[in-house]
Amino acid sequence: MRNMTVNNKGYDFSAVHESLQSYVDRDILAGVSSAVLVGGELVDVHTAGWADKENNIPLRTDHLFRVFSNSKLVTSCAVLLLMEEGRLKLDDAVEAYIPQLAKRRVLKPRPAGIEDTEPAASPITIRQLLNHTSGLGYGFLNPGSVLDNAYNERKVMNAAQTLAEMMDVLAELPLGFHPGTRWEYSVATDVLGRLVEVVSGQRFGDFLQQRIFAPLGMADTGFVVPADKLDRFTAYYAGGDAFNPMKPGLTRLENAPFPGAFLTPVPRQSGGGGLVSSLPDMVALIRSLLPGGPHLLKPDTIAQMMSNQLAPGLSIGFPGIGPVPGKGYGLGGAVTMQPSSLDPDASTGAFEWGGIAGTHWWISPQHNLAGLVMTQRQMAFWHPFSFEFKRRVYAAVL
pLDDT digits (tens, 9 = 90+) for 219-233: 999 999 999 999 999
Model confidence pLDDT, tens digit, residues 258-271: 999 999 999 999 99
- What percentage of residues in the chain have a pLDDT greater than 70? 99
Assess whether pLDDT exceeds 90 at residue 395: yes
Q: Could you tell me if residue 2 is inside a domain? A: no
User: How many domains in the chain?
Assistant: 1
pLDDT value for 143: 87
Model confidence pLDDT, tens digit, residues 79-131: 999 999 999 999 999 999 999 999 999 999 999 999 999 999 999 999 999 99
Q: Could you tell me if residue 252 is inside a domain? A: yes
Q: Could you tell me if residue 154 is inside a domain? A: yes
User: Cα separation of 195 and 79, whole Å?
Assistant: 8
Q: Could you tell me if residue 89 is inside a domain? A: yes
pLDDT band at 178 (very low <50, low <70, confident <90, very high): very high
Model confidence pLDDT, tens digit, residues 291-308: 876 899 999 999 999 999
Q: Could you tell me if residue 308 is inside a domain? A: yes
Q: Could you tell me if residue 59 is inside a domain? A: yes
Residue 309 domain boundaries: 7-398
pLDDT band at 374 (very low <50, low <70, confident <90, very high): very high
Q: Could you tell me if residue 1 is inside a domain? A: no
Q: Could you tell me if residue 273 is inside a domain? A: yes
234: domain CATH number is: 3.40.710.10
Which residues have a Cβ under 8 Å from the Cβ of 243 and sit 6 or more positions away?
none
